[in-house]
Chains A and B, each alone.
Chain A
Amino acid sequence: MVPILGLLRGDTSADRVVPPTGFTARLTVFTAAAMAFLAVFALALSLATARLADRWGTALAQGATIRISAPAEQRAAQTEAVLRILRETPGVASARALGEDEQRALLAPWFGPDLPVETLPIPQLVEVVEDGRGFDAQGVRLRLRAEAPGAVLDDHSRWRRPLVRAADRLNLLGLGALTLIVLTMAAMITLAAGAALAANRQVMAVLRLVGARDTYIARAFVRRFTLRAGLGAAVGTALSMGAVAALPRMDAAGSFLTGLGFTGAGWLLPLLIPPLAALIAFWATRYAAMKALKEIP
């Protein structure tokens, strides 16, 4: 922490002894800006998929559907039996049979809005909402088999699980991409610092000969690269946050999908990227400088 505070305070004499290096300066600023831009997107992807996994995991876990495929004359009785069973089942917050309009709306994306639901052999659907405790699905299945043989309970777990797994994998992928971006930025800054150090080997040798310690010599390079990386990352982060904010919202998809972006306090997370880039540059340049200085007596 102390070297970083010292770095922020600056040392004009140490800064002046190293001549300005145009190419490596531009390379560092550009690399930091580009990597920060990508890092914000990777972070947005990671956060969005985490939200998605959470939504699919919790929202769908609290719901279940019962499908009643019975002959027309038994349909009402079996539906009534199902609703009675559900009312008596602990862990069920509410249960209701979907009306014809709701079933028509569910099928509309595939068959269009004017589907004559009443003339088709479509099963009756019952929507079940669990309370916080959840209900015993196996027990409900046994009672349904005995009292409403045409009813089948679907607790969504069959297709919910792969969706949650996919979202979790995407989340991991986002975090992996973020890690790769950080490592690439460190490597690029180390290379740029290495090039600057090689170009200034004579300066370092003279400074050693007049009694400069390694930390003094390294400080001039470290400060320069840290500030450039921080500045570049700030520009890249600002541009990327603007781009994320301009992405279309996914509210139209309801609660099923989520937009690639940040919500609430999540907007503060990208602001950590510029200081993180500066920290990476600090250590990468310090490592490169100390390594280069070891070769100078």
Chain B
Amino acid sequence: MGTVLIELSGVSYGYDGRPLIQDLDLALAPGSFHFLTGPSGAGKTTLLKLCYLELAPVQGRISAFGKPAEQLGRDGIAQLRRRVGVVHQDCRFLDHLPLLDNIALPLAASGQPIEAHAADISALLEWVGLDGRADALPPQLSGGERQRAALARALILSPDVILADEPTGNVDWEMSLRLLSLLVELNRMGKAVLIATHDLNLIRQAKSQVQARVLRLRAGRLDVAGADL
């Protein structure tokens, strides 16, 4: 473990004045593997959004890569997101672009020529088992293919942190295990991984492969899950 990549200190957040997350602390260090669990509506997605600064806390402080979030301008937040790969629950693809362009979107958005990274993109597509689907449009992909494509897009810039929101929510058990093994492999490369999921079987499976910390979000508070997991 080295320095903390993303740190939340005493963070609170709520919607329409109703508190959802209260006085929460979280630190993601290089090589760490966290599961975030909790009932639906507990605030798992909100916590991930706070981590990549899509939301700003109403109270508390967030620092990313050593810089306080409030000191990052809009360009600074854009730079931060290039170091944080996010797998969204709904994948968030641009449906008019083929899969190859969707996966290469972070490259284009950061001003890097796609042509120069053609080999990387091919290797990544092969790694997630989507070689041969490069020209398919997102609506033509199955749930599992979409999740793997979202993971590929999150990894294209080789980020330091990977945040995944219910990455196995729409796929069968076999595909869940495949996605999990990909994330474990990335963690072994030194990436910090935080997976929000309510799938306890997946967490149990992961704990046999990697030293994972399981955090439970309940009533706005975050605590470390016990031996029941």
Contact = CB atoms under 8 A, between A and B. Distances in A.
A97 B132 CA distance: 100
A211 interface: yes
B114 A13 contact: yes
Given A13-B114, A17-B108, A297-B53, A206 B92 contact: yes
A209 B55 CA distance: 12
A251 to B, nearest CB: 59
Nearest to B83: A211
Nearest to B106: A210
B211 interface: no
A296 to B, nearest CB: 9
B140 interface: no
Interface in A193-211: 203, 205-211
Contacts of B157: 211
B55 A297 contact: yes
Interface string B28-60: 000000000000000000000000111110000
Contact of A211 (B81, B93, B97): B81
B101 A208 contact: no
A203 B78 CA distance: 15
A132 B53 CA distance: 77
B109 A214 contact: no
Contacts of B77: 297
Contacts of A14: 108
Contacts of B92: 205-206, 209
A213 interface: yes
Tell me what chain A mostly uses at the interface: helix, strand, loop, or mixed. Answer: helix
**What interface size band does chain A fall in?**
10 to 19
Contacts of A208: 78, 81
Interface in A176-207: 203, 205-207
Interface in B98-113: 101, 105-106, 108-111, 113
Interface in B53-103: 53-56, 74-75, 77-82, 86, 88, 92-94, 96-97, 101
A292 B79 CA distance: 20
A184 B111 CA distance: 35
A205 to B, nearest CB: 8
A207 B74 contact: no
Tell me what chain B mostly uses at the interface: helix, strand, loop, or mixed. Answer: loop
A16 interface: yes
Contacts of B93: 206
A211 B55 CA distance: 15
A293 B78 CA distance: 13
A213 B78 contact: yes
Nearest to A207: B109
Contact of B109 (A212, A293, A297): A212
Contact of A216 (B54, B56, B86, B109): B109
B74 A213 contact: yes
Interface in B159-210: none
A297 B54 contact: yes
Contacts of B88: 209
A211 B106 contact: yes
19 contacts: A13-B114, A19-B94, A19-B96, A206-B105, A207-B109, A209-B86, A209-B88, A210-B105, A210-B106, A210-B109, A210-B153, A211-B80, A212-B78, A213-B74, A213-B78, A214-B74, A297-B54, A297-B55, A297-B77
Given A209-B92, A211-B109, 14 more contacts: A17-B97, A206-B92, A206-B93, A206-B94, A207-B105, A207-B109, A209-B86, A211-B78, A213-B78, A213-B109, A214-B74, A297-B54, A297-B56, A297-B77
